[in-house]
Amino acid sequence: MILWDGSRHEWLEERGPRLCLMGAIDDASGELLPGAHFVDQECAAGYLRVLKAIALEKGLPLSAYMDRHGSLKRNDDHWTLEEELRGVQDPTQVGRALQALEIEVIFALSPQAKGRVERLWGTLQDRLVSELRLAGATTMEQANAVLLAFRPEFNRRFAISPADSTPAWRPLRRGTDLARLCSFQYPATVLPDNTVRLAGMVIDIAPGPRKRSYAGARVDLHQFLDGSWRVYLGAELIATQEPTTTSELRTIKRRRRRPPSAAWNAHRRKIRSSIEHHPEP
């Protein structure tokens, strides 16, 4: 199991901006895991970067323990019709990646429940702040360079041998497209001019085989962690675009709908029960 979180703190003291350290620890050993890095604010992109780095270097954990930050758990009242019919909201971008990688999600019910990772932040706010001061770091880029060199020494001093030495990390399945899974995904429909549009951005799609038009097709639009874009029709990559910012699109909300009422939930259960007891021949 991993425990992950973000810690916003005066890591650079008065020399630079207030930053958020995002990272994860191994519950068995207390090791500060790969992917720890500084960002401006706790965010989905930060969690996805940590997840990708852990998966590449260590493998996949069985579970992830976390708080209810909006990047990790849907806390909004935006419901699509499909969500209303299912009675549950779609996961966040991070939740979708965890689900695809078959990592169990465990939400902390109180701040006290995150005690171990909070103690890690306390230790780092002492020792890492000192290292940053000694290095004269004044920017996020410099802080990340110091952190990269600091992590192995920190683990050498503070990580412990787990009670059970049998590794529990799961290897990535052959053919797993980790970069695609750890990206921002948006469903879209190809327009008559063979483009997809999102938040004012337009991506042109070249004609397919035999000058095939993709107009009307439902596609998945992905923004990768480097800011680049890819459009997939199923498993087929049909368009790419150069990087743009990753700081805005992840906050795009669905059209606001009120949560399903008790009457609607009762009606939905009645329909489901009817289908289950009277299946199609």
Task: Give me the pLDDT at residue 86, please.
Answer: 83
Residues 98-155 pLDDT 10s: 999 999 999 987 666 677 788 888 889 999 999 999 999 999 999 999 999 999 999 9
Q: What is the mean pLDDT of each run of 10 residues along the chain (281 residues)?
A: 94 96 93 96 95 97 92 85 85 95 89 74 92 97 97 93 85 95 95 92 90 93 94 95 66 52 68 62 51
**Which stretches of 93-146 are assigned E, i.e. beta strand?**
104-107
Per-residue confidence (pLDDT) for residue 119, from 0 to 100: 85
pLDDT at residue 244 in the model: 76
Q: What is the pLDDT of residue 95?
A: 95
So what's the pLDDT on residue 113?
60
Q: Which two tokens stand for residue 121?
A: 């932040």
| Residue 4 pLDDT | 94
* Structure tokens that stand for 5 in this block: 């979180």
CA 146 to chain centre: 24
Give the predicted TM-score (pTM) of the model.
0.84
What are the φ and ψ backbone dihedral angles of 73, each rounded to 5 degrees? -140, 135
Full DSSP string of 22-61: EEEEETTT--B-TT-EEESS--HHHHHHHHHHHHHHT-B-
Give the pLDDT confidence score for residue 121 in this predicted structure: 87
Which string of b and e fits 178-213 if b means at least 16 CB within 10 Å? bebbbbbbbebebeeebbbeeeeeebebeeeeeeee
**Diameter over CA atoms, the chain:** 74
Evaluated on CA atoms 129, 133, 138, 143, the torsion sign reads: negative
pLDDT for residue 122:
87
Q: What pLDDT sits at residue 78? A: 81
Q: Quick one: pLDDT at residue 251?
A: 46
